[in-house]
Structure 1
Amino acid sequence: MGNYSITIKPTSNTSIVKFETDQFITQHQSFEFDNIDQAKSSPLAQQLFYLPFVKKVYISSNFIAIERYNIVEWIDVQDEVAEQIKDFLNSGGVVANVSEEKKKIPVTVYAESTPNPAVLKFVANKKLVTQSYEFTSIDDTKFAPLAAELFHLPFVKGVFIDDNFVSITKYEVAEWNDITLELREFIRTYIESGKTIINANAPKEVKKTQDYLDAQYEERDDISKEIINILEEYIKPAVASDGGNIEFQSYDPKKKKVKVILQGACSGCPSSTYTLKSGIENMLREMMKDKVETVEAING
């Protein structure tokens, strides 16, 4: 029995809705089916085609996208479909039967520098996780096999995994020139062999679940919501490109102070103070006018 949850995501095409899962449902593979005959290899898609309004099914690493016929509107049926998908996955239903020779997917990994000289970002051509994870020691990696194996390398001090990259923090004893190739090949081989990145039975951090984040967002005051939206739209993508992550923690209206959490390459980065003052703080002061004066960072 699984422990999946489903998040409904509208798309720019009103006929198509994505049902995102909080765990991977395929081994970095994608499938597209136009009808029930094509879906013989996918019990999940076949079940969905029994719904009379389903026109096309697309299955990828962590979502199922469904195109509907115009006989219904998604608003009337999407909750029911989400529940059906969740029940199917949690009952151990097979998403797709794939022949053994197709399971090994070619993987490429390249190394990318970050503003933090102690951190290097290793970017894969495959999505690795559905949420971010940070590990500061091997004790944190009980449910994270990739991170656990990386910590067996003597020069690895910290591991941050998000989307399609792994950020490695090294000890000073090692130089990047001496270890980059070894790390890149290690991560590439691990992913290509289909090994588990994060265990499916890993305990979900309540603060990380989308339902919790959505509920928490709705409880925020209007100014905090504005700040979160600015962080998500303008700042988080830039921080992710540097191998890190930023999360809103709090807003103090009296002091006009914003507190954020920095993770990955941004945590403990020598240039993070400059980034905060010249980038994040200036942007928030400009966009929020007289509502924000200072931004304080806390390392994750």
Structure 2
Amino acid sequence: MFMRAFLRAPPRGLLQSARRTLFIQTGTTPNPQSLKFLPGRLVYETEDERGFSSTPSDPPHSPLATRLFTASKDITSCYLGYDFVTVNISTETTWEETKPTVFSAIMDHYASGDAAVLEESEVVSDTEIFDDDSEVVAMIKELLEVRIRPAVQEDGGDIKYVDFSEDSGMVSVRLEGSCVGCPSSSVTLKSGVENMLMHYIPEVKGVEAVDEEGSNQLQNLPGEDGITEEWNPDDDDGKPKMTYEERLKAAGIPFSD
């Protein structure tokens, strides 16, 4: 879906040429409460392509996120990627009601000229390899960054490294963007991410998703049986999108049901 909007130049002397036309495309995700908005221009750029996740209770480090949360109380979180914004909404509303509000907030952001994220608030890379990282941790970070993250971000989400326990062999990660609250997250995490890490790194015995408090992120999710990624004809060139699992297989990553 495309949304065309004319951004009027602010008053007091700005040239007529400062007016721009903004096209916002929306893309479906595996999560029915999440949509991916693509404004056709840079959203948030970092050296390692990591994104910025925010909720209404977080400090106002992102002018764009603040605009979204101010525009609608039904927006529960947002994730800023390189060229997209993923917005999650509560089950108490519908996209038919909320989508125009999101369009408006994004257009207001670009009209303002504000940065998406304040410079002093930019997050440290979760997959940066430090001198004191063990060989196992370094390998986990590299696989997450190079092999897994690109596929997850294509669906409007992200996966971040949190910790590795040498005693249990468990890798802790944090899901963001469209992955938050997604019914198929547990299948993707266990059958895709976990299998891939265990295949290449024998020391890894399992993968778990945790929130900021260290609690299980996948508790109380609806059943994932039969969940598939829907194709939106406005998303691409007319060819059905591959599911995340299909992209894992295409990249040579082991995946099993």
Give the TM-score normalised by the residue count of structure 1. 0.58
CA distance in 2, matches of 1:106, 1:244: 27
Q: Would the aligned equivalents of 1:129 and 1:198 in 2 still touch at CA under 8 Å? A: yes
Q: CA deviation at 1:130?
A: 2.3
User: Are 2:204 and 1:292 aligned?
Assistant: yes
From the CA coordinates, give the structure whose radius of gyration is larger: 1
What is the CA–CA distance in structure 2 between the aligned matches of 1:260 and 1:199, rounded to whole Å?
A: 23
Gap change, CA 1:220 and 1:189, over 3 Å in 2:
same
SS in structure 1 at match of 2:173: strand
Residue 138 (structure 2) aligns with: 225
Q: TM-score, normalised by structure 2?
A: 0.66
How far off its partner does 1:274 sit? 0.7
1:88-237 paired onto structure 2 within 5 Å: 100-131=15-46, 132-137=51-56, 139-140=57-58, 142-152=60-70, 153-180=72-99, 182-183=100-101, 185-198=103-116, 200=118, 202-204=119-121, 208-209=123-124, 214=128, 216-237=129-150
Gaps of 5+ in 1: 1-98
Higher helix share: 1
Cα RMSD for the two superposed structures: 2.5
1:260 and 2:173 matched: yes
Unaligned segments of structure 2, at least 5 residues: 1-13, 213-257
Q: Which one has the bigger strand percentage?
A: 1
CA distance in 2, matches of 1:122, 1:183: 12
**More contact order relative to length (CA 8 Å, sep ≥ 6):** 2
Distance, in Å, in 1 between the alignment partners of 2:76 and 2:151 is 24
Q: 1:253 to 1:295 in 2, by over 3 A?
A: same
- Equivalence for 1:54: none
Instruction: Report the count of equivalent residues.
Output: 194
1:45-84 paired onto structure 2 within 5 Å: none
- Matching residue's letter, 1:110: Q
Percent same amino acid at aligned positions?
27
The answer to whether the 8 A contact 1:123-1:164 is kept is: yes
Shift of the alpha carbon at 1:229?
0.8
> How far did residue 198 of structure 1 move?
3.1
Q: Is the 8 A contact 2:88 2:178 kept in 1?
A: yes
- Larger mean CA deviation between 166-175 and 188-197 belongs to 188-197
Structure 1 counterpart of 2:35, one-letter code: L
